[in-house]
Amino acid sequence: MKSRWTNVTVVTPQAEVANDLLVDGDRIAGLVPSGTAVGDDWRVIDGAGAILFPGSIDLLQHGYGEHLYNDTEEGAVASNSQLLLKNGVTGFLPSISCLPPMKMEPTLSRLSAQTVEATGARALGVHSEGPVFGSPGAHNPENIQLPSVELAERMLAATDGRLKAVTLAPEKPGAEGFIKTLKAAGVSIHLGHSQARPEDIPRYVSWGIDAVTHMYNVMPTYPPGNMGVHVLSLTDALLAEPSLALGLVCDGIHVEPQLVRLLAQLPDDRVFLETDAMKYAGTPGATFEFYPGYVVTSAPGKAVREAKGGGLCGSSLTPDEAMRNYLRFSGKDLAQVANATSLVPARVLGMERDLGSLERGKLADFAVLDRASLDVTATWVGGKEMWSKAA
């Protein structure tokens, strides 16, 4: 099927353009000015003034709807791949948390197998947040492990080539071999839950770290000195590394909006949005047990918090909410926001040749947005309408 979208604004990596979008089969055939002759065998779709926005790619998602991926309930990934379409998501990494050593590999294996069952948004692989941590945050500290080449090899074997990202603390002894083994297998290495010293960050980046998990969260700060000089922090050192893509949970709770605006001043290839979403994201919310004895409550717009103490435990954020928040907090335009929601995540995974932007030759994965509200009204994956608000 050859389709021509007309009467639309197309969001590209550089700008919002009032061009027609040509889709041939599952890929984008080009963007042309309205009225350009391309032949009579194109089905014309009148977008009625809508915005075509590249589908969001969420690299850190522990759950959504009724499912927590740690539980690997049958059909969890397949179900959520359909539910996420209403949020404009066309790609995601179902993620596990820091699990007991005896459970981690079987869970990774089951979750990886489920990714091939996704029939809506693309399940692009899996993300293991842990088990190599310097700070547990909301994860179970009893499940932290030391890194080693052997651990990396076991994780790779368990996922059968589908391990796409690992979040780790590079300061742990044995981390260099762990990182290099994963990196050689094509895994994206994300610094997170770390107590790394700022001065060591350039060395860790040289080992293969290419991204940061939830920037500003579970990261140490240091008390001020007595010389009137700013004390270099871990986040400062991460900002200073031009090759690092910085993941941001943009709910206005995990990171102050003013800090979001600061991050937005970086080049467009430095920031990407991730939800760190938990079970019951995208629903009215509920209370559940994240791990034995650790009870949390999810509420829309209020993140996920410990039932006792109120500490953060992931978010209740949906990717389209994150997109609209980033637009509002950052003061940037839709093209710059699209880099953060779509193109930078695709680059982090090494999949930008096919995913992440509305450009000739790429897969036709996009969301149709209402021009006034920026709400998602339809989502297309591989040139096919997979969800429509009207339907």
**Domain boundaries defined on the chain:** 2-53+358-388, 56-348
Average pLDDT of the residues in 268-283: 96
Was domain 2-53+358-388 assigned CATH 3.30.160.20?
no
pLDDT confidence bin for 391, thresholds 50/70/90: confident
State which amino acid sits at residue 209. I
Point out the least confidently predicted range of 4-13, 291-300, 330-339: 291-300
Per-residue model confidence (pLDDT) at position 54: 98
Residue-wise pLDDT tens digits, 326-369: 999 999 999 999 999 999 999 999 999 999 999 999 999 999 99
How far is C-alpha 238 from the chain's CA centre?
Answer: 18
Taking the C-alpha atoms of residue 31 and residue 10, their distance in angstroms, rounded to an integer, is 9
The sign of the torsion formed by the CA atoms of 123, 366, 263, 326 equals negative
Q: Which residues of 18-51 are buried (b: 16+ CB within 10 A; e: fewer)?
A: ebbbbbeebbbbebeeeeeeeeeebeebebeebb
Contact 122, 159 (CB under 8 A): no
pLDDT confidence bin for 203, thresholds 50/70/90: very high
Tokens of 343: 């193109």
| Vertex 77: Cα angle to 74 and 82 (nearest 5) | 120
Tokens of 389: 């608000």
Q: What is the CATH number of domain 56-348?
A: 3.20.20.140
pLDDT confidence bin for 39, thresholds 50/70/90: confident
Q: What percent of the chain has pLDDT over 70?
A: 100
Average pLDDT of the residues in 107-127: 98
